[in-house]
């Protein structure tokens, strides 16, 4: 074997890991506890920035419009519950793992299937871009170095995620389990502690932006204009639904009974996503958190050079 071939084989082994025989792949199938972080990490990351997007859009009309945030969050939660219920039916009806592509192909024809598949590819690329950018913003709120080098952080994170996933679904699951469960436990703990301080201990808690005003881009929005603004905030908040379809695409990766385990994992995904979404929005609204497009111009009372923190960072 030539030196070039040896290097090629070594590189492939480093990136992809040890090869397995097709008839011995049973050990790579996922139990629910590992499948959840593998397939739910997408949806969980969406929960980190979807509430922030609701506040961002409504801030266009000033502080008074932020009163709509709980109602917009409830609407998003209802849609998420419907979508999760629909996909639970899909994993039983289409257990081969084709997901939306298979559903569209079987019922509407190959052209519809190709259209759906193409849309999903674009969706996945955008999801990676938005989720990694959101991670940079949240981590940058605590670590100034990341805030100053967001682009390099995002590029490195994408390369790391790609390398982890190339090793195989079970191996990536073992790695993703730690940050995914850590995120769920951390945010749930933060929400429980916050609501306990407010409603049980009776403490008056305010976020760092609670005393800031907002310069509205549009004054006195009423009627149809206000309805469109609320609808836009709802569409932005629906970013929380990103990644819900991932489980229906990966049914074959579950241990038997595959469809039942996939449906249970979907239920857990929906429960965690809705709980975290509603909790973040309600707590943020309660403590007066604000998030605007341009903090230097849109926040009244902010000190000079104020660096706006992500919504979850403000809650923390």
Q: What does 150-180 look like in DSSP terms, one character per residue?
A: HHHHHHHHHHHHHHHHHT-HHHHHHHHHHHH
The whole-number pLDDT of residue 101 equals 84
Cα(39)–Cα(261) distance, integer angstroms: 12
Chain centroid to CA 68: how far?
22
Interval 142-183: pLDDT, tens? 888 888 889 999 999 998 888 877 776 666 667 778 888 888
Is pLDDT above 70 for 28? Answer: no
What's the token pair of residue 27? 């050990």
The neighbour count for residue 304, using CB atoms within 10 Å, is 5
Residue 11 domain-assigned (yes or no): no
The whole-number pLDDT of residue 297 equals 83
Please check whether residue 261 is in contact with residue 42, taking contact to mean a CB–CB distance below 8 angstroms. Answer: no
Q: What mean pLDDT do residues 247-268 have? A: 86
DSSP 218: S
Residue 299 domain-assigned (yes or no): yes
Candidates 187, 182, 230; CA nearest to 73 is: 230
The whole-number pLDDT of residue 6 equals 63
Candidates 264, 242, 243; CA nearest to 91 is: 264
* Residue 9 bridge partners (DSSP): none
Is pLDDT above 60 for 38? Answer: yes
The neighbour count for residue 306, using CB atoms within 10 Å, is 14
The whole-number pLDDT of residue 234 equals 94
CA distances from 133 to 38, 64, 162 (A): 20, 29, 16
Query: Hey, which bits of the chain come out as E strands?
Result: 213-214, 299-300
For residue 130, name the pLDDT band (cuts at 50, 70, 90).
Answer: confident
For residue 30, name the pLDDT band (cuts at 50, 70, 90).
Answer: confident
Q: What mean pLDDT do residues 265-274 have? A: 91
Of 24-33, 208-217, 284-293, minimum mean pLDDT range? 24-33
Cα(203)–Cα(40) distance, integer angstroms: 34
Residues whose CB is less than 8 angstroms from the CB of residue 80 and which lie 6 or more positions away in sequence, other chains included: 240, 241, 244, 270, 273, 274, 277
Please check whether residue 66 is in contact with residue 216, taking contact to mean a CB–CB distance below 8 angstroms. Answer: no
DSSP 31: P
For residue 199, name the pLDDT band (cuts at 50, 70, 90).
Answer: very high
The whole-number pLDDT of residue 232 equals 92
Candidates 72, 67, 75; CA nearest to 230 is: 72
Interval 65-121: pLDDT, tens? 889 999 999 999 999 999 999 989 888 888 887 778 888 898 899 999 899 889 888
Cα(248)–Cα(92) distance, integer angstroms: 9
Residue 253, domain extent: 29-99+175-315
Helix (H, G, I), strand (E, B) or coil at 210: coil
Cα(39)–Cα(292) distance, integer angstroms: 31
The whole-number pLDDT of residue 305 equals 78
Q: What mean pLDDT do residues 226-246 have? A: 87
Cα(20)–Cα(216) distance, integer angstroms: 60
The whole-number pLDDT of residue 93 equals 85
- Count: domains in the chain: 1
| Chain mean pLDDT for the chain | 84
Please check whether residue 98 is in contact with residue 117, taking contact to mean a CB–CB distance below 8 angstroms. Answer: no
């Amino acid at each position: 074997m030539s030196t070039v071939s040896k290097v090629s084989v070594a590189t492939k082994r480093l990136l992809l890991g040890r090869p397995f025989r097709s008839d011995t792949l049973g050990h790579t199938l996922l139990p629910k506890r590992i499948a959840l972080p593998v397939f739910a990490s997408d949806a969980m990351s969406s929960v980190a920035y979807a509430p922030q997007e609701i506040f961002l859009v409504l801030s266009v009309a000033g502080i008074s419009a932020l009163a709509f945030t709980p109602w917009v969050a409830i609407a998003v939660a209802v849609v998420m519950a419907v979508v999760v219920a629909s996909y639970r039916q899909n994993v039983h009806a289409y257990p081969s793992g084709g997901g939306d592509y298979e559903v569209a192909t079987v019922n509407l024809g190959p052209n519809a299937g190709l259209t759906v598949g193409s849309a999903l590819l674009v969706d996945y690329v955008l999801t990676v871009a938005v989720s990694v950018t959101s991670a940079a913003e949240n981590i940058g709120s605590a670590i100034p170095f990341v805030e100053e080098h967001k682009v390099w952080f995002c590029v490195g994170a994408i390369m790391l995620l790609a390398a982890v996933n190339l090793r195989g679904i079970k191996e990536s699951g073992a790695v993703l389990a730690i940050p995914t469960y850590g995120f769920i436990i951390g945010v749930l703990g933060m929400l429980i502690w916050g609501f306990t301080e407010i409603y049980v201990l009776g403490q008056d808690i305010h976020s760092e932006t609670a005393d800031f005003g907002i310069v509205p881009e549009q004054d006195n929005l009423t009627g149809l204009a206000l309805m469109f603004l609320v609808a836009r905030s709802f569409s932005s908040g629906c970013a929380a639904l990103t990644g819900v379809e991932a489980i229906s695409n990966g049914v074959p990766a579950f241990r038997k009974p595959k469809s039942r385990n996939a449906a249970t994992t979907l239920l857990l995904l929906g429960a965690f996503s809705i709980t975290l979404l509603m909790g973040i929005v309600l707590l943020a609204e309660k403590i007066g958190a604000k998030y605007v497009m341009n903090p230097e111009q849109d926040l009244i009372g902010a000190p000079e050079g104020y660096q706006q923190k992500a919504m979850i960072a403000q809650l923390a």
